């Protein structure tokens, strides 16, 4: 049995998305910039996809949709554009949070080197940014507030509408990285006071390598990729028509089936939380009150995440962890550290992220396997020995 | 291409010599929980020969595999020979490790050395202190923790 429980990392391409894109790989392969009618079919598909995406995220016009190579590029462009445009007016202060995706954090680091000042807000123990904290951080020279819609590791959802309203009132551009939210929960850029938004197709059953930057009319965009006049001159490069068509089709399908998907996923997620919480000295990370449907993030004391993942893999479960060994650095996940978790606890984290293709049988398999693997690793862990013999106190 | 060689996976999934040893002649503990790996190595020495070795490890797959391999490599060897065990030899015996996991093999080498040092100390055997460093050489020195 292979259980794919890493849908926050990526998803399979749905049949709907695949069927939509195939003609644009084989028969309708023209370059939308070409003049002849054969290529204009591709151009039409592009503009139709733009209309579809605009409607699905509540944009006022299709002209506000820019197709990109993915969420990271959209984040880079949104943040740099707002920063550089603010700098022209002497505004060189940027506000974000400690647990953003690296596409945001590393862009902010780059801007710091350019002389920008960055305030990273606390996300508290529950992984939720407080609107009051945003208000307190805003200054005369604030050029941008960027807060993710839902966190990729722990799944907590942020008060986007309220932060957006605050920024609107103060006249500060507001961007949100909505990669983990789009297609999984209602997002409406106009109602939620969002000026710019990033999304990525492969998180909702479109292929990898295609995303969107929504930029409200009036937002000045700077190019990250220079080139031709594609995307109204704001993003050079021949458009990824098959990917774009698939993204629009996948988004439409996800939004149309959102209620039934959520109704299917939540009982599975809740069962995981309920059953895995029975493992002694475990902890659920992030508020359950404000949460995307599919993500479960827990820590198990006394074990390390990479070995946990390898053994889960051997039992057919695909999952992820915020341990240092899996992050490729010496420190465990910056998200878990931002919640105030000690390093040694953060090393023992497990993220399971479910989608509508998962089944209760698969969840039962996870519930059978995880406690066994945790207990096996604890039995060979010198830390666990110290905890159990009382040499060190349990932290969770 | 898998992350680890078959040998690493074998030693990770079927680790040799896991467990505690109640009558150990020497115990070495190296690593740091904050950094994500701790190795505890036990040796039983008779007439200068390591007749048994065991380990408990908190850490990633390669930390567990290198612990397992290191115990296998020192069993039956003299204490002096065990001290010559290099991390490179452990890596070679495992058919290689990814570059960012080499520190696990260094930790295994240090665990063996720490266990031998403990055996020397407990038995009043004189040794050159320069031979052993008393801090985590392999570990966490690339960054500071809060």
DSSP string for residues in B6-49: HHHHHHHHS-SSBS--TT-SEEEEEEEGGGTEEEEEEEEEETTE
In A, which residues are within 8 Å of B55 by CB distance? 380
Reduced 3-state DSSP string for chain A:
CCEECECCCCCCCCHHHHHHHHHHHHCCCCCCCCCCHHHHHHHHHHHHHHHHHHHHCCCCCHHHEEEECCHHHHHHHHHHHHHHHHHCCCCCEEEEECCCCHHHHHHHHHHHHCCCEEEEECCCCCCCCCHHHHHHHCCCCEEEEECCCECCCCCEECCHHHHHHHHHHHCCCEEEECCCCCCCCCCCCCCCCCCEEEEEHHHCCCCCCCEEEEECCCCCCCCCCCCCCCHHHCCCCCCCHHHHHHHHHHHHHHHHCHHHHHHHHHHHHHHHHHHHCCCCCEEECCCCCCECCCEEEEEECCCCHHHHHHHHHHCCEECECCCHHHHCCCCCCHHHHHCCCCHHHHCCEEEEECCCCCCHHHHHHHHHHHHHHHHHHHHCCHHHHHHHCCCCCCCC
Residues on chain B bordering chain A, Cβ-to-Cβ distance under 8 angstroms: 9, 12-13, 15, 18-20, 29, 33-40, 55-61, 63-64, 100-101, 140, 142-143, 145
Residue showing tokens 């022209």: A88
Torsion, Cα of B122, B123, B126, B130 (10° steps): -30
- CA B51 to chain A, closest CA, distance in angstroms equals 21
Residue showing tokens 């106009």: A190
- H or E stretch at B116: helix B102-122
- CA B33 to chain A, closest CA, distance in angstroms equals 5
Residues on chain A bordering chain B, Cβ-to-Cβ distance under 8 angstroms: 302-307, 310-311, 314, 323-325, 328, 330-332, 342-344, 347, 379-385
At residue A323, the pLDDT reads 79
**pLDDT over 60 at B140, yes or no:** no
**pLDDT over 70 at B138, yes or no:** no
For an interface test with A, which of B14, B59, B63, B142 has the most A Cβ atoms less than 10 Å from its Cβ? B59
At residue B133, the pLDDT reads 66
CATH 3.90.1010.10 fits B6-131, yes or no: yes
**What phi and psi, each to the nearest 5 degrees, are found at residue A152?**
-75, -30
Q: Are B34 and A343 a contacting pair at CB < 8 A?
A: yes
Give the one of A310, A343, A381 whose C-beta lies nearest to B58's C-beta: A381
Q: Are B60 and A380 a contacting pair at CB < 8 A?
A: no
At residue B130, the pLDDT reads 79
Of A158, A161, A138, A139, the residue nearest A148 (C-alpha): A158
In B, which residues are within 8 Å of A304 by CB distance? 36-37, 58-60, 63
How many contacts, defined by CB atoms under 8 Å, are there between A and B? 77
In A, which residues are within 8 Å of B61 by CB distance? 306-307, 310, 325
**pLDDT over 50 at B142, yes or no:** no
Catalytic residues of A: 325
Give the one of A314, A323, A382 whose C-beta lies nearest to B56's C-beta: A382
Q: How far is the C-alpha of A242 from the C-alpha of B115, rounded, in Å?
A: 61
Q: Are A344 and B37 a contacting pair at CB < 8 A?
A: no
Q: Are B40 and A382 a contacting pair at CB < 8 A?
A: yes
Provide the β-strand partners of residue A282. A300
Instruction: Please report which confidence band the pLDDT of residue B135 belongs to, taking 50, 70 and 90 as the band edges.
Output: low
At residue B3, the pLDDT reads 84
Domains and CATH numbers, chain A: 15-256 (3.40.640.10), 257-388 (3.90.1150.10)
Chain B residue nearest residue A303, CA to CA: B58
**pLDDT over 80 at B109, yes or no:** yes
What pLDDT tens digit does each residue of chain A (396 aa) get?
899 999 999 999 999 999 999 999 999 999 999 999 999 999 999 999 999 999 999 999 999 999 999 999 999 999 999 999 999 999 999 999 999 999 999 999 999 999 999 999 999 999 999 999 999 999 999 999 999 999 999 999 999 999 999 999 999 999 999 999 999 999 999 999 999 999 999 999 999 999 999 999 999 999 999 999 999 999 999 999 999 999 999 999 999 999 999 999 999 999 999 999 999 999 999 999 999 999 999 999 999 999 999 999 999 999 999 877 766 666 899 999 999 999 999 999 999 999 999 999 999 999 999 999 999 999 999 999 999 999 999 999
At residue A97, the pLDDT reads 98
Give the one of A323, A331, A381 whose C-beta lies nearest to B56's C-beta: A381
- CA B74 to chain A, closest CA, distance in angstroms equals 20
Chain B residue nearest residue A347, CA to CA: B36
Q: How far is the C-alpha of B67 from the C-alpha of A203, rounded, in Å?
A: 38
Number of Cα atoms under 13 Å in the Cβ half of residue A202 = 15
Give the one of A310, A343, A383 whose C-beta lies nearest to B61's C-beta: A310
Q: How far is the C-alpha of A39 from the C-alpha of A31, rounded, in Å?
A: 5
- H or E stretch at B69: helix B61-74
Instruction: Please report which confidence band the pLDDT of residue B146 belongs to, taking 50, 70 and 90 as the band edges.
Output: very low
Q: Answer for the pair A332, B140: CB distance below 8 angstroms, yes or no.
A: no
Give the one of A303, A379, A382 whose C-beta lies nearest to B29's C-beta: A382
- H or E stretch at B51: strand B49-58
Chain A residue nearest residue B102, CA to CA: A325
* Strand ranges in A136-292 using DSSP code E only, listed in sequence order: 142-146, 174-177, 196-200, 211-215, 282-284
At residue B35, the pLDDT reads 84
- CA B56 to chain A, closest CA, distance in angstroms equals 5
- CA A330 to chain B, closest CA, distance in angstroms equals 7
At residue B129, the pLDDT reads 82
The C-alpha angle B7, B11, B15, rounded to 5 degrees, equals 165
In A, which residues are within 8 Å of B101 by CB distance? 325
Provide the β-strand partners of residue A156. A291
For an interface test with B, which of A350, A383, A389 has the most B Cβ atoms less than 10 Å from its Cβ? A383
Active site includes B137?
A: no
Q: Are A325 and B140 a contacting pair at CB < 8 A?
A: no
At residue B125, the pLDDT reads 93
Helix (H, G, I), strand (E, B), or coil: what is residue A227? coil
Sequence ranges of the domains in chain B: 6-131
Q: Are B34 and A344 a contacting pair at CB < 8 A?
A: yes
Number of Cα atoms under 13 Å in the Cβ half of residue A330 = 16
Of A301, A308, A304, the residue nearest A392 (C-alpha): A301
Provide the β-strand partners of residue B44. B52
């Amino acid at each position: 049995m292979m259980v794919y429980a890493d849908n926050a990392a990526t998803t399979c391409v749905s049949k709907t998305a695949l069927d939509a894109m195939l003609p644009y790989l084989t028969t309708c392969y023209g370059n939308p910039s070409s003049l002849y009618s054969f290529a204009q079919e591709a151009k039409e598909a592009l503009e139709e996809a733009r209309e579809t995406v605009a409607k699905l995220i509540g944009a006022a016009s299709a002209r506000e949709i820019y197709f990109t190579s993915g969420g990271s590029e959209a984040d880079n462009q949104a943040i740099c554009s707002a920063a550089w445009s603010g700098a022209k007016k002497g505004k060189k202060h940027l506000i974000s949070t400690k647990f953003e995706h690296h596409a945001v954090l590393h862009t902010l680091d780059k801007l710091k080197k350019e002389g920008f000042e960055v305030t990273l807000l606390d996300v508290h123990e529950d992984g939720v940014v407080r609107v009051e904290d945003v208000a307190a951080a805003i200054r005369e020279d604030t050029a941008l507030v960027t807060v993710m819609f839902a966190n990729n590791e722990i799944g907590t959802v942020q008060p986007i509408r309220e932060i957006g309203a605050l920024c609107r009132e103060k006249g500060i551009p507001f961007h949100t990285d909505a990669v983990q939210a789009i297609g999984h929960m209602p997002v409406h850029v106009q109602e939620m006071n969002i000026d710019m938004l990033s999304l990525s197709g492969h998180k909702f059953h479109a292929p990898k390598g295609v995303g969107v930057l929504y930029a409200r009319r009036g937002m000045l965009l700077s190019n990250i990729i220079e080139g031709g006049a594609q995307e109204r001159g704001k993003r050079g490069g021949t458009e990824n028509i098959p990917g774009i068509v698939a993204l629009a089709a996948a988004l439409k399908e996800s939004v149309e089936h959102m209620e039934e998907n959520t109704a299917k996923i939540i009982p599975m997620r809740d069962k995981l939380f309920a059953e895995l919480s029975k493992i002694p000295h475990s902890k659920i990370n992030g508020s359950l009150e404000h949460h995307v449907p599919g993500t479960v993030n827990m820590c198990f004391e006394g074990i390390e995440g990479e070995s946990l993942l390898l053994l889960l893999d051997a039992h057919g479960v695909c999952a992820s962890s915020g341990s240092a060994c899996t992050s490729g650095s010496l420190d465990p996940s910056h998200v878990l550290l931002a919640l105030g978790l000690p390093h040694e606890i953060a090393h023992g984290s497990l993220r399971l992220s479910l989608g509508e293709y998962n089944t209760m049988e698969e969840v039962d398999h996870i519930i059978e396997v995880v406690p066994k693997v945790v207990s096996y690793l604890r039995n060979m862990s010198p830390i666990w020995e110290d905890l159990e013999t009382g040499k060190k106190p349990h932290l969770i | 291409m898998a992350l680890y060689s078959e040998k690493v996976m074998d030693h990770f999934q079927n680790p040799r010599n896991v467990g505690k040893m109640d009558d150990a002649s020497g115990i070495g503990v190296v690593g740091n929980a904050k950094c994500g790996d701790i190795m505890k190595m036990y040796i039983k020495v008779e007439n200068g020969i390591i007749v048994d070795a065991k380990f408990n490890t908190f850490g990633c797959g390669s930390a567990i595999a290198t612990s397992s391999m290191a115990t296998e490599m020192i069993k039956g060897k003299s204490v002096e020979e065990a001290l010559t065990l290099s991390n490179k030899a452990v890596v070679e015996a495992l058919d290689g490790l990814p570059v960012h996991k080499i520190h696990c093999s260094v930790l295994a080498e240090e665990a063996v050395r720490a266990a031998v040092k403990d055996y020397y100390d407990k038995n009043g055997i004189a040794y050159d202190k320069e031979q052993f460093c008393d801090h985590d050489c392999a570990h966490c020195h690339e960054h500071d923790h809060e």
